[in-house]
Amino acid sequence: MLMIMYNHAIRPTRLAAMLHFTLRQLQVFEKVAIHLNYSRAAKELYLSQPAVSMQIKQLEGHIGLPLFEQMGKKIFLTEAGRELFHYARNISQQLIEIEAVFDDMKGLGQGKFTLSVVNTANYFTPQLLAKFCQRHPNINVILQVANRDAVLKQLADNSTDLAIMGQPPDGLDLNAESFLDNPLVVIADPGHPLSTLKDIKFSQLAHETFMSREKGSGTRSAMERVFDLHHIQPHISMEMETNEAIKQAVRAGMGLGILSLHSIELELETGRLAILDVENFPLLRHWFVAYRRNKRLSSAALAFKEFLLTEGAQ
């Protein structure tokens, strides 16, 4: 009995010693864990690399376990590091929510939120943000641009407040509301033989070469679905991670592409690309604003969501 009482007595002291680290150390650890790179974390935090290394060493000293292990030139999270990363992300999000609560109390004159957008949506998102920020100049927006899979992961990790993307897959714990049409078109170099034809049958694309976005991209998924619908296997000669790369390749006569109309407006105006008149095209899809179903959105994030729903199409 005496031993049990003694252990209970010392447990808070041991816990206090172990948890005697700062929020700043947690913040530094979180950035290193995200990038798995001290230099990138230091650059993002506006610190020197030795300062970042020192914070991590101090944190490991408080916890009593290594958080990273080095293999060759790369670092990886240890088991303890993975556990701490989980809690660090939650603590970071809770601090953001605390700040949002106080911003709400002060009114919509100030505040901030994080917005993630898929690559293609970045062609029109800056225009929307510019108009929104003109109305709310004291709201700070953190913009993250990535492919569809990465944006879905950011939503799942709760590392973003809102996301602009195509319709999210079923089965995810997300709310998603459409606010803008997203027509997909078949593009070609203006000198391509098909560029002068009307009412092109989809079967005529069976022998064409295509430039395509990478797997995981919403545009790639839509492309695969329409080819499957016509029981045709597309001949994809190159996969590219950006729409700009596809446009350049198509302009060079390397093949055709399927892209959002929003991403080629400048090329159409200057005559550098042509839209093919293919049956069942444009493929009409929609842009959605998505967020976690159980997430408490700040007044700033809610204001931007409502802005998209009411004025996005304009």
- State pLDDT tens for residues 76-103: 999 999 999 988 888 887 787 777 677 6
CA distances from 198 to 195, 277, 280 (A): 8, 6, 13
Residues 260 and 280: beta-carbon distance below 8 Å: no
Mind listing the domains of the chain with CATH numbers? 2-87 (1.10.10.10), 181-286 (3.40.190.10)
Write out pLDDT tens, residues 108-141. Answer: 556 889 999 998 899 999 999 999 999 888 888 9
pLDDT band with cut points at 50, 70 and 90 for residue 1: very low
Say yes or no to pLDDT of 191 above 90. Answer: yes
Encode 262-295: b = buried (16+ Cβ within 10 Å), e = exposed. Answer: bbbeebeeeeebbbbebeebbbebebbbbbbeeb
The Cα–Cα gap between 299 and 302 comes to 5
The model's pTM:
0.65
pLDDT of 179 strictly over 80:
yes
pLDDT of residue 106: 61
Residue 104 confidence (pLDDT): 63
pLDDT at 294 over 50: yes
**3-state secondary structure (DSSP) of residue 208:** coil
